[in-house]
Amino acid sequence: MLRLHAPQVLGALVRRYGHFGEAEDAVQEALLAAAREWPGRGVPDNPRGWLIKVASRRLTDQLRSDSARRRREENAALLTPRDAFTAPPPGEARAPSQDDTLTLLFLCCDPSLAPAAQIALTLRAVGGLTTAEIARAHLVPEATMAQRISRAKQKVRGAPFRQPGPADRDARLAAVLQVLYLIFNEGYTATSGPALHRADLAREAVRLTRAVRLLLPREGAVTGLLALMLLTDARSAARTGPHGELVPLDEQDRSLWDAAAIGEGVALVEESLRQGPAGVYQVQAAIAALHDEAARAEDTDWPQILALYDILVRRTPEPMAALGRAVAVAMVHGPSAGLGELAALEERLAGHHRLESVRGHLLERAGDPEGARAAYQVASQRTLSRPESRYLQMRAARLTP
């Protein structure tokens, strides 16, 4: 519940005081205070108002150390409506004139920030995660993550707290969606470390994307991204075996898939395709829906998936889309055809473990166990994910004479 209030509380402070970095620190302190006090005293009737009050007090105390700032904030306060920074009473329909969640997302995804900084700042300011939680999710020391977040806050210091204008709104929204997509992907398939899946990051990405969709319900890209996340995450329970080992899609126990999430995701795909031309997220979601709707691996509609990949590779230059298409080509036209597609990706994916992993799979299907074993071994050495490495080593071992 605390994280649901975080962006609204931060937005209230930034609107009133500015000072994004200091306001964000004050909100984190208020969230920590609530985590300590509410379990014993109970949740206040107006939790958002309580958080704003505590965070405002912390921020005001900090700003009072500078007399010029203090005078400026006092003058601003005199011009502020008395109820501007309190939540409406229960049952009252009054809503904020602007939604701070989306504004904060635009601010955190400022084009001047590197993607890693955008992700960290989004998780901290909008997601309400602590620096320690973000550091653990990314398997880096807390001090390293603190520096990353601090530098990001310095870069956006002084940026106006408002949504972008019509000229750059679409580009900025695309950046927000890309950050949410990256957060989800890192949660669904961790790029490094001992665990295949970081459920906390995946859930946070879904939650934030739901929040954006509530604000922009007619944006096909937003609807498509949420559909893609739900349809992909629906398979989570079947992706690992009893000892944490990776289970590939065609070997998963589909009875473990989340039927409710699949149903919601399929409905969202259909809605997203009615909301305008199909973009990258809508097409990817449609591919995921075809996988999820197949009762058995052999029931998968690969010709339709290949047709969708043909559209996807025309929409995006991402080499992973082309790699997915190569797999679809192999499933429709045979492994030799898929290997021919891989040859065209050598330069774009040079050194990437997924290229060798797919090569191993297709060589195995083509009846070349020696070549497949060599490809699996190379892939296992290149990946930083321990579950993926163990899986690839196991595939190679199976082919050892």
How many other CB atoms sit within 10 Å of the CB of residue 177? 23
DSSP letter, residue 88: P
**DSSP structural state of residue 254:** G
Residue written as token pair 């962006």: 7
Concatenate the DSSP letters of all residues of 200-253 into one string: HHHHHHHHHHHHHHHH-TT-HHHHHHHHHHHHHHTTGGGSB-TTS-B--GGGS-
Which phi and psi (to 5°) does residue 246 adopt? -70, 135
The residue type found at 349 is L
- 3-state DSSP: the chain helix, strand, coil percent, rounded to 5? 70, 0, 30
Helix (H/G/I), strand (E/B), else coil: 136: helix
Residue 18: closest CA among 69, 67, 71, 66 = 69
Nearest residue to 378 (alpha-carbon basis) of 367, 394, 365, 393: 393
- Rounded Cα distance, 329 and 303, in Å: 8
Q: Determine whether 141 is exposed, middle or buried from the number of CB atoms within 10 Å of its CB (0-12, 13-18, 19+).
A: exposed
- How far is it, in rounded angstroms, from Cα 318 to Cα 117? 21
Single out the residue of 274, 281, 279, 192 nearest to residue 230, CA to CA.
Answer: 281
CB neighbours of residue 163 within 10 Å: 15
Domain ranges of the chain: 1-72+117-157
pLDDT, position 199: 81
User: To 10 degrees, what angle do helices 100-108 and 142-156 make?
Assistant: 100
User: pLDDT tens, position by position, for the chain (401 residues)?
Assistant: 667 788 878 888 887 877 788 888 888 888 888 888 888 888 888 888 888 888 888 887 777 665 554 555 455 444 444 444 444 444 433 334 446 778 888 888 888 888 888 888 888 888 777 888 788 767 678 899 999 999 998 888 878 888 888 888 888 899 899 889 988 988 888 666 677 777 888 888 898 899 889 888 999 999 999 999 999 999 999 998 888 889 999 999 999 999 999 999 999 999 999 998 889 999 999 999 999 999 999 999 999 999 999 999 999 988 999 999 999 999 999 999 999 999 999 999 988 999 999 999 999 999 999 999 999 999 999 998 888 999 999 999 999 87
Longest Cα separation, the chain: 81
158: CB partners within 8 A, 6+ apart: 18
